[in-house]
Amino acid sequence: MEPGEPREPREPGPGAETAAAPPWEEAKTFYDNLAPQKKPKSPKPQNAVTIAVSSRALFRMDEEQRIYTEQGVEEYVRYQLEHENEPFSPGPAFPFVKALEAVNRRLRELYPESEDLFDIVLVTNNHAQVGVRLINSINHYDLFIERFCMTGGNSPICYLKAYHTNLYLSADAEKVQEAIDEGIAAATIFSPSRDVAVSQSQLRVAFDGDAVLFSDESERIVKAHGLDRFFEHEKAHENKPLAQGPLKGFLEALGRLQKKFYSKGLRLECPIRTYLVTARSAASSGARALKTLRSWGLETDEALFLAGAPKGPLLEKIRPHIFFDDQMFHVAGAQEMGTVAAHVPYGVAQTSRRTSPTKQAPPAQ
């Protein structure tokens, strides 16, 4: 080596210590780890399929409800503030919301620039200060919920249309009825009696037919004239589409997103699957239901006609993230078999169910 020639760097031998990184590099790594991970942007409400979920549907708030009922609103607020760093446990809508986010991830992979996605809005009549615990809980579970509506004790129903809501889920039956009366697809969600594992990669949604996807026209005939007259009526009107029910628009929105996967050749691997689960008989009244869907340009992946048999055992096999029905005994039967069921308060079956209001806690919205 000539004098003044730079030495070639040598590899450190076994057991040799490497030079420590400069302090500014260590600081950069430290702050990079602290920085929040970049999340995708929320879609514009007019482009998205918007699901509005109440706080008590998304999380379990039984203890908070008890405190409100027994000790009043001031103690309730104090309790929430004292526990705001403790995340709530997942509620009945939690698996459904996680499945929506799984679909969104697939859509973003296929259509990076598209805003045709699910958008979840948390809707609650909690005070904004109480909302800190909700925000902490959402961050704890790494949920992507950017839009909040916290109304400080007032009903949030008047805001649902401004949020372009396609579906509203709540634990408060009165609020759900308000939404239905305003022409918004809505349902009261119930926890199952036992936990059942559901798919982590495919959103599964099951619908009753009459008074859910369809109007209550046929149920009115059954109630007034009996099953024989109903079968005659359905046969005579087989080619006349039923009027739409409150959740027809939500099925339509699901179908729109499904077609985005179909256009990529992914029909069999589509992460959204829909089911019609109806008490109708296939031979005597099933054709009208299927022809109605066809006339709307809609379909369900599976159509299950039970001819009056219980729905719970079949739902146990499907394992949907949510099942919609207008009759509480079907909802209860689904719950018993471990299905998250949601009651749609629409149609003639509800006339005997209207009861006087009961006191509800702020999170029940």
Is there a catalytic annotation at residue 208? yes
Marked catalytic residue, from 32, 116, 142, 208:
208
Asked if 285 contacts 231 with a C-beta cutoff of 8 angstroms, the reply is: yes
Greater confidence (222 vs 140) lies with 140
Rounded distance between C-alpha atoms, residue 89 and residue 60, angstroms: 5
Residue 37: what pLDDT? 53
Asked if 349 contacts 210 with a C-beta cutoff of 8 angstroms, the reply is: no
Question: What backbone phi and psi angles, to 5 degrees, belong to 319?
Answer: 55, 60
The predicted model gives 188-205 an average pLDDT of: 95
Global model pTM greater than 0.75: yes
Q: What is the pLDDT of residues 340-351, one digit of tens each?
A: 999 999 988 886
Sorting pLDDT into bands at 50, 70 and 90, what band is 228?
A: confident
Rounded distance between C-alpha atoms, residue 290 and residue 276, angstroms: 10
Rounded distance between C-alpha atoms, residue 128 and residue 363, angstroms: 12
Maximum average pLDDT range among 27-36, 224-233, 333-342: 333-342
Rounded distance between C-alpha atoms, residue 344 and residue 181, angstroms: 11
Sorting pLDDT into bands at 50, 70 and 90, what band is 352?
A: low
Helix pair angle (248-262, 94-110), 10° resolution: 40
Does residue 60 surpass a pLDDT of 50? Answer: yes
Mean of pLDDT over the chain = 86
DSSP letter assigned to residue 21: P
C-alpha 217 chain-centroid distance: 27
Question: What backbone phi and psi angles, to 5 degrees, belong to 353?
Answer: -100, -10
C-alpha 189 chain-centroid distance: 10
Out of 123-132, 205-214, 291-300, 317-326, which region has the weakest mean confidence (pLDDT)?
Answer: 123-132
Rounded distance between C-alpha atoms, residue 84 and residue 130, angstroms: 8
C-alpha 85 chain-centroid distance: 25
Sorting pLDDT into bands at 50, 70 and 90, what band is 55?
A: very high
Does residue 357 surpass a pLDDT of 50? Answer: no
Rounded distance between C-alpha atoms, residue 119 and residue 253, angstroms: 12
